[in-house]
């Protein structure tokens, strides 16, 4: 009878080399999550989930083979699978690095489920205290993930990352008008239910009245929650693989001005809930400024892309999923905020649109976008006059970011992107009466 015990990375390496592989690496991820769900204003259920994934990548006869296991499997079976797959692939040069064994300090702190429940109940109570007709749903979670990477060159590094997250949505039905307002938080050690509830309450307050926005070209204020659509396009343009394939419009523009001078984009491996000490190839991550006051400084790369571009890896080789080979990716992206409070950004608008939630995808690397505004507000003479329904916004990200009006001081984490509110000039808006 086969013993399907948890996979031991050292054993997998040993079996791979004994099986004829010249080089091998093992990437292992183990995650434990404890989500708390709320539905219709009440606690619905508690869950506990454990996920384990192990990736063996090897080179036999110079040809790569990759096999993935989720949970305990027979080690020799995984090795045999990777060796068999290597016989189907063309040869390539193994790109494995060596540095001394390093165990990084744990990041974040675990929070008891009871505290997550209390936070969720508190946030919902605060919303319903002011808007008792709203129906709230939410999810509060504590997740700890341990990542380990070892290879046949002697590399061995690992760390454990504990992340707290919260999501709160309020649904408000008034006759035939349905409104859904949602927001979230991601932090390392503490969540703030009062702040999260206040963000939802503020948007409900702005949405009490319905505005009558006009179609045309107007300034548009993207809140920190909605601005991620803009940065997604820039992330694609900064990807070394896109540069190599000449798909990025910035492929030949290093050292040139590509955005307004007020814009600086960078990554910071030691900051925020999406900090990361090493990438999925074992390279140490490092602070990098990609755009400095509008000037393009650097693209991000993995080992393969960096070698082909001649720039080397920037420590940004990540696996989109366990079944994929590492490719250029970002663990976080930060936009240096401005100095104006959100209220001042609004007050400076004589007439314009605030975009807070959008429907559909972003612009993609082309930069062209036309999106429906799921939640937006109309501004007249520096005052929010109500919700803008049935409105679309269209434009080009690259053009818009050359015509920035201002950046807010209200930077916040929206997923792995730390972004302030952004006001851009003259986007096309279409509203249906």
Structure tokens at 16: 């791979």
300 forms bridges with which residues in the sheet? Answer: 239
Q: How does DSSP classify residue 247?
A: -
C-alpha of 320 from chain center: 12
* 293/317 Cα distance (integer angstroms): 26
- Residue pair 162/108 in contact (Cβ under 8 Å)? The answer is yes
Domains and CATH numbers, the chain: 9-194 (3.30.2290.10), 210-433 (no CATH)
- Please give the C-alpha separations between residue 322 and each of 69, 88, 192, 361, in angstroms, as whole numbers: 9, 19, 33, 24
Q: Where are the beta strands (DSSP E) in 135-198?
A: 135-151, 156-174, 177-187
Structure tokens at 342: 């959100």
* Tens digits of pLDDT across the chain (433 residues): 444 556 899 999 999 999 999 999 999 999 999 999 999 999 999 999 999 999 999 999 999 999 999 978 899 999 999 999 999 999 999 999 888 778 889 999 999 999 999 999 999 999 999 999 999 999 999 999 999 999 999 999 999 999 999 999 999 999 888 999 999 999 998 999 999 999 999 999 999 999 989 899 999 999 999 999 999 999 999 999 999 999 999 999 999 999 999 999 999 999 999 999 999 999 999 999 999 999 999 999 999 999 999 999 999 999 999 999 999 999 999 999 999 999 999 999 999 999 999 987 778 899 999 999 999 999 999 999 999 999 999 999 999 999 999 999 999 999 899 999 999 998 999 987 6
What's the predicted TM-score (pTM) here?
0.93
User: How many CB atoms within 10 Å of residue 210?
Assistant: 14
C-alpha of 103 from chain center: 25
Q: Identify the pLDDT of residue 426.
A: 84
């Amino acid at each position: 009878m086969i013993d399907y015990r948890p996979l031991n990375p050292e054993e997998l390496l040993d079996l791979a080399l004994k099986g004829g592989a010249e080089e091998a690496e093992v990437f292992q991820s183990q995650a434990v999550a404890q989500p708390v769900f709320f539905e219709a204003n009440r606690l619905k259920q508690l869950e506990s989930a454990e996920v384990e994934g192990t990736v063996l990548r090897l080179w036999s006869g110079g040809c790569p083979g990759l096999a993935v296991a989720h949970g305990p499997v027979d080690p020799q079976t995984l090795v045999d699978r990777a060796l068999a797959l290597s016989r189907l692939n063309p040869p390539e040069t193994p790109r494995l690095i060596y540095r001394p064994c390093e165990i990084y300090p744990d990041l974040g702190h675990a929070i008891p489920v009871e505290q997550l429940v209390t936070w969720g109940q508190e946030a919902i109570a605060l919303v319903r205290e002011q808007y008792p007709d709203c129906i709230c749903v939410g999810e509060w979670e504590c997740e700890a993930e341990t990542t380990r990477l070892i290879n046949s060159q002697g590399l061995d590094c690992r760390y454990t990352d504990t992340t707290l997250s919260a999501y709160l949505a309020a649904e408000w039905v008034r006759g035939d008008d349905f409104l859904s307002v949602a927001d979230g938080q991601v932090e390392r050690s503490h969540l703030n239910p009062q702040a999260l509830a206040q963000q939802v309450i503020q948007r409900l307050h702005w949405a009490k009245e319905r505005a009558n926005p006009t179609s045309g070209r107007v300034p548009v204020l993207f809140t920190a929650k909605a601005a991620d659509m803009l940065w997604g396009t820039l992330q694609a343009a900064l990807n070394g693989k896109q540069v190599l394939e000449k798909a990025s419009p910035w492929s030949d523009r290093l050292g040139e001005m590509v955005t307004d001078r007020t814009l600086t984009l960078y990554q910071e491996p030691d900051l925020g809930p999406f900090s990361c000490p090493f990438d999925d190839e074992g390279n140490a991550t490092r602070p990098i400024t990609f755009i400095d006051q509008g000037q393009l400084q650097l693209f991000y790369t993995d080992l393969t892309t960096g070698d082909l571009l001649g720039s080397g890896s920037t420590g940004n080789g990540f696996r989109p999923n366990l079944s994929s080979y590492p490719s250029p990716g970002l663990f976080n992206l930060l936009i240096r905020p401005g100095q104006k409070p959100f209220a001042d950004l609004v007050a400076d608008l004589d007439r314009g649109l605030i975009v807070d939630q959008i429907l559909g995808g972003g612009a993609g690397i082309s930069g062209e976008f036309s999106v429906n505004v799921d939640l937006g507000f109309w501004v007249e003479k520096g005052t929010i006059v109500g919700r803008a329904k049935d409105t679309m916004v269209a434009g080009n990200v690259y053009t818009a970011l050359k015509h920035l009006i201002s950046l807010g001081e209200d930077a916040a984490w929206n997923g792995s992107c730390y972004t302030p509110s952004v006001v851009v000039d003259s986007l096309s808006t279409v509203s249906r009466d």
